[in-house]
Amino acid sequence: MAEPADSLAAERASSMAGTSPPRGRVPSEAERVSAAAMAARLAPGEPAAPPDPLTIRQWLWGPGLHIPGTAEDVLALARPFAANASTRLLDVAAGLGGAARAIAARSGAYVSALERDPDLARRGRALSVASGRHKQVPVGHMDPETLELRAGAFDGILGREASHLVRDKERFMRVLILGLRPRGQLLLTEFVAEPALAARPELAAWAALQPRDPSLWTLRQYSDCFLGLGVELRVPDDISAAYKSQIVEGWVRLLRTIDLRSLPRGHRLAVVAEAERWTPTVAALDSGALRMYRFHMLAGPVRTGLGAAKDGAAALRR
């Protein structure tokens, strides 16, 4: 019979998926080996502290990845960069640096990685050193409120969930655009508020769990900011459903690859606590009050006749 912690973890994953039991992609052999190795290091009787949230999140999405999305998801997102060994990229919300290292490993590109949280940056730097990519993917600490970039330094900038906790978003976006070379690309995935549903309790519950008070923008606000900066804005993509799937699939993968009963009770409870932290995010997305959007834009004057900026503006203003 499953112990309470095991049942709770499965129940949280089922609740997030909206199904019982959840059915996701069968983990690959590499995923099974990786997860099994992590579990083995936490075998019963081992005098180890329960895993912290960053460790559990890497069980969900892979080494060096602490927000939803596997390395393959990151590579798909970064495909427009068409990166190669001569490409210079910046990840401006690098976390543990896993996304930057995945892009660098696949393309050969040099990817600078900057992270707001000093502990994340420190751990990310150690992971780059351990992987032998500390020169190709240096991880550093920065404050997005005071960030400065050398003009025209990068072919592309990636920011996954980079701005929803930034107070002065317009300044932050201006700095990113100035850091791009002519026709350089900016790719962002970001939480967006739905004004008509701002009073929903699910949104308040999500906001209460963030490390800083969120400063959410609407789609219209992002539109006005980007177009005011003179970029060529492609039609934004509502990826809320895909983002929810990434959360749910991470938990399905964990429950299929790690036998929670083989872990000490403290470790199982840590997994349950982490599942409970992700439930409000799924609820806020399901309510419609919180959305996740993908923004893709090119630096430089808007090229008239192509209609990209016009179409993007129209989509954002709907």
Q: Which domain holds residue 213?
A: 1-318
Start-to-end Cα distance in the chain: 52
pLDDT at residue number 36: 42
Predicted confidence at residue 16, as pLDDT, reads 63
Residue 138 is part of a domain; what is its CATH number? 3.40.50.150
- For the chain, 318 residues long, give each residue's pLDDT as a single digit of tens: 445 555 555 556 556 655 443 444 444 444 444 444 454 444 434 447 899 999 999 999 999 999 999 999 999 999 999 999 999 999 999 999 999 999 999 999 999 999 999 999 999 999 999 999 999 999 999 999 999 999 999 999 999 999 999 999 999 999 999 999 999 999 999 999 999 999 999 999 999 999 999 999 999 999 999 999 999 999 999 999 999 999 999 999 999 988 888 889 999 999 999 999 999 999 999 999 999 999 999 998 544 433 444 444 444 444
Q: What is the pLDDT of residue 292?
A: 98
CB 58 within 8 A of CB 287: no
Which pLDDT value is given to residue 45? 45
Give the pLDDT confidence score for residue 260 in this predicted structure: 85
User: What's the structural domain count of the chain?
Assistant: 1
Cis peptide before 50 (omega within 30 of 0): no
Quote the pLDDT of residue 5: 52
Cβ atoms 14, 278 nearer than 8 A: no
**Predicted pLDDT of residue 300:** 80
